[in-house]
Structure 1
C-alpha cells in the first residue's frame, strides 16, 4: 500500500504558536500509516470480526465504540458492521482479503488524514467543535466515536498517547486551520511529522 502526499504539507508551520512559554495543545500529523476497513454482512459479523482481530493481532474484535490495540495496529469499531484497522506503514505487506460471502475489505488510506491532539488543553480544544464529553472518565483510553466536526463526519479515538482524529482528506486543511486557530489561545505546539 503506497502512502499518499499529505494535503497539510503547505498548511502547517512546525514550532510554538500563541502565548510565550505556554503549551496547552500539541498537534501532530501522523503520515506513515495503513488504514483498512473490514465490512461484515449481518450474518457474518462474528466471523468477520474474528478475522479483523486476527489480522490486527488483537485477542478479540473491538466492540461498538471501542478501539483495541493489537500487535499490528489499532482496531476501531466505527459502525455496527465495520471495523477500521489503523497501523504503522509497512505493517501490512498487502491488503487483507475476505471471502465475498463473509464481507468486504477496502483500503482507506487515501481517504483520511490522521491528527494526534495532545497536551493539557486537548479535550477543551476539541470540545470547541465536537459534541462529546471528552473527560477521561467519560471517554477513556480505548474509546472510539464517529461524530461531526464543523458539519464534517470524523472519527475520534483515545489511546495511551492522547486523542486521535481521522479527518476526511478533502476537508483536512479547513479542519486543521480551525484547530490551529482555536488552539492559539492555549499555546500551540505543532510537531513536524517524521519523513
Structure 2
C-alpha cells in the first residue's frame, strides 16, 4: 500500500490516510452469495472474505464485518464502483463519515490494548483480521496489516482519538 497519501501527525508512529473511499454493500440474505462474488470480481479480489476478515483486492481492500455486508475501501477515487441491482441489496457511500488512522507495529499492540478491550496480539488478531471494538466508548473498526494496525473511526472522533493515542505514545 503506497504511503504517499498519508499525512504525518505529531508522532511518526501514527498517520492519517487521505484520498480514499469507503463503500458499503449490503445484500439481502437470499442474494448475498451471488452479490458478494460479483463485488469481489469487480474489485479484483481473489475471493469473498469470511466475516471478520479482510482481503486485498486490485482496487483496494474488501472488508467483511457482517454476514450480509461488505465494505470496499479504495485508495483512489478513480475507477468504476461495483453496483448491486435493487433486488440484491443496497450500496451506501460511507467515505465522509470515517477517518482512517494507521498505527505502526509493534507500538500498536500495547497502545490499542490500553484503549480497547480487544487483544491486538497474534494469534488472537492476525494479519488480515478485522474487528469492531470501542475506544473511549466510541465504536471503531480495526484491522491488522503486516506493519500497521488500521483504525476506521467516526470523523467527529478522529482528532481527539489521534491526540489521545499520540499522548499515550509520548508518555508510554
Q: RMSD of the TM alignment (CA)? A: 1.7
CA deviations over 1:83-132 (Å, ceiling 9, x no partner): 111111134x3443210111111111101100011032211001111111
- Number of aligned residues: 166
* TM-score when normalising by structure 1: 0.79
Structure 1: gaps of 5 or more residues: 1-8, 17-25, 187-195
8 Å Cα contact 1:33/1:87 also seen in 2: yes
In structure 2, runs of 5+ residues without a counterpart are 1-6
- Structure 1 runs (4+) greater than 2 angstroms displaced: 12-16, 93-96
Query: What CA distance in whole angstroms lies between the structure 2 residues aligned with 1:52 and 1:160?
Result: 24
The whole-number CA distance in structure 2 between the counterparts of 1:43 and 1:175 is 39
Q: Residue 96 in 1 paired to residue 78 in 2? A: no
CA distance in 2, matches of 1:103, 1:77: 15
- Equivalent in 22, 34, 37 of residue 24 of structure 2: 37
Structure with the larger helix share:
2
Match of 2:117 in 1: 131
Q: Which has the higher contact order (CA 8 A, sep 6+)?
A: 1
- TM-score, length-scaled by structure 2: 0.89
Matched residue, 1:122: 108
Contact 1:39 / 1:48 at 8 angstroms: preserved in 2?
A: no
